Amino acid sequence: MFIDQAIFHIRSGKGGDGVVHFRREKYVPRGGPDGGNGGKGGDVVLEVMATLNTLAQFRHKTRFEAEDGKNGGRSDMTGHSGKDLIIHVAPGTVVFDHLSGAVLGDLTNPGQQLVVAKGGHGGRGNARFANSRDQAPRHAEHGEPSQELEIRLELKLIADVGIVGVPNAGKSTLLAASTNAKPKIAPYPFTTLEPNLGMAVLDDETTLVLADIPGLIEGAHLGIGLGHDFLRHVQRTRVLIHLLDGLAEDPISDYIQINSELALFDPNLAGKPQIVAFNKMDIPEAQERWPKIESELKRLGLVGEEQPLAISAVTGLNLRKLLYRAAERLKDSPPLEDIELMPVYRLESDPRQFSIQKEGDGWRVSGEAIERAAAMTYWEFDDSIRRFQRILQTLGIEDALRKMGAQEGDTVYIGDFELEWQD
């Protein structure tokens, strides 16, 4: 089954905890602190795999988690870092933050990678806090929390040539006759409910990747019919074969309508090279109509200097001529711009910023830096608590709570922790 959209939850690995430990050996009376650091949590990485052409692997699995970092050990031993989680996607996958709608990256080239969630740093062990004033620190850090988010993937097929036209124009038949693809073919509209890819080998030096785009109707750019689901696949193609239905009531009107829908969806689509092909020339009625349709296309200037072709996808009439013409236009058309890997930036403000709100009988302090610091604090060690209090002072949270009227004994909520305010 062709799947070109997916939404799932990802979580990077949490950093391992640093430890509090002191060297103790029989003849070393003042061994000092030797608690090691925690290991880094694993990243969640999307990587392009050339052999994939669908997002079907996300159909049943909707949660992905990287490995957590291991805790530090004694003798200054650092915990093992968690393994990165590599998730393979098809070329042409666009990555979005599902909640905000922000584009995180556009993955087009095989082997290209995008880190969508970074693993947490390992917490520092007490050996890292030793200094001339405090030679025996009895505090350490928990590992940095993991990152979690919902991401949405959208696949835009990467093909050299896109075949567009109204429903039942014969696009699938043309693809099947030109390549080894086996799309569903039937004598009724909307037979094709998903895009199909195929490769046409014209000679030893010329190959074309063709994409059959399901039939478009009026209002497709607004999502009517199969509109938005498949118009985006046209964006990746460099040349279009515009197939006219030789038995349609008004092929000229169909041609104008499809081009309008393409331009309304993305103005850049209007500038793509097009080759017009009048299909179903194996049927006498279409043969009779062709001279009039050809002259009308030229009279209205709809095809420019490009000569429209009369073809039959069923018998193969002018099929190789059509494909070679597409190959020639492909050589003249500029390649798609390589979209550089887009880094994931989710910080729109200073992480040290915070907000304070009244919550029940207490106060809720929110802010990335202070919530991370709370999560990394060993609350069972007095030295760690004093260090956290210094962070509150440094960020200005203590002064802000006093100004807002915090009283002795009030509860202060920071992340998942409840603290008692003591001034």
pLDDT of amino acid 231: 65
Supply the pTM of this predicted model.
0.64
In the predicted structure, residue 100 carries a pLDDT above the cut 90: no
Q: Of 98, 129, 155, which closes a domain?
A: 155
Q: Are residues 136 and 222 in the same domain?
A: no
The tens digit of pLDDT for each residue in 259-293 reads: 887 777 777 777 888 899 999 999 999 999 999 99
Q: Are residues 225 and 269 in the same domain?
A: yes
Domain that holds residue 79: 1-155
The whole-angstrom separation of Cα 393 and Cα 382 is 17
Which CATH number characterizes residue 317's domain? 3.40.50.300
Q: Are residues 24 and 132 in the same domain?
A: yes
- 347 within some domain: no
93-97 and 148-155 strand pairing: antiparallel
Q: Are residues 179 and 151 in the same domain?
A: no
The whole-angstrom separation of Cα 388 and Cα 31 is 27
Taking the alpha carbons of 226, 230, 232, 238 in that order, is the dihedral positive or negative? negative
Percent of the chain with pLDDT over 70: 85
Q: Are residues 232 and 257 in the same domain?
A: yes
pLDDT of amino acid 122: 94
The tens digit of pLDDT for each residue in 101-121 reads: 888 888 888 899 999 999 999
How many domains does the chain contain in total?
A: 3
**Of the candidate ranges 45-54, 139-148, 185-194, the one whose mean pLDDT is the lowest:** 185-194
The whole-angstrom separation of Cα 294 and Cα 280 is 14
Q: Which residues contact 101 (CB under 8 A, 6 or more apart)?
A: none
Which CATH number characterizes residue 42's domain? 2.70.210.12
Half-sphere exposure of 72 (CA within 13 A, CB side): 30
Contact by Cβ (8 Å): 58, 153: yes
Q: Are residues 77 and 170 in the same domain?
A: no
Which CATH number characterizes residue 383's domain? 3.30.300.350
The tens digit of pLDDT for each residue in 174-207 reads: 888 887 655 444 443 444 445 677 778 888 778 7
**pLDDT band (50, 70, 90) for residue 224:** very low
In the predicted structure, residue 348 carries a pLDDT above the cut 60: no
State which amino acid sits at residue 138.
R
Percent of the chain with pLDDT over 90: 32
In the predicted structure, residue 404 carries a pLDDT above the cut 70: yes
**pLDDT band (50, 70, 90) for residue 223:** very low
**pLDDT band (50, 70, 90) for residue 341:** very low
Q: Of 135, 155, 175, which closes a domain?
A: 155
Q: Of 117, 136, 155, which closes a domain?
A: 155
In the predicted structure, residue 170 carries a pLDDT above the cut 60: yes
The whole-angstrom separation of Cα 350 and Cα 368 is 9
The tens digit of pLDDT for each residue in 360-377 reads: 888 999 988 888 888 889
- 338 within some domain: no
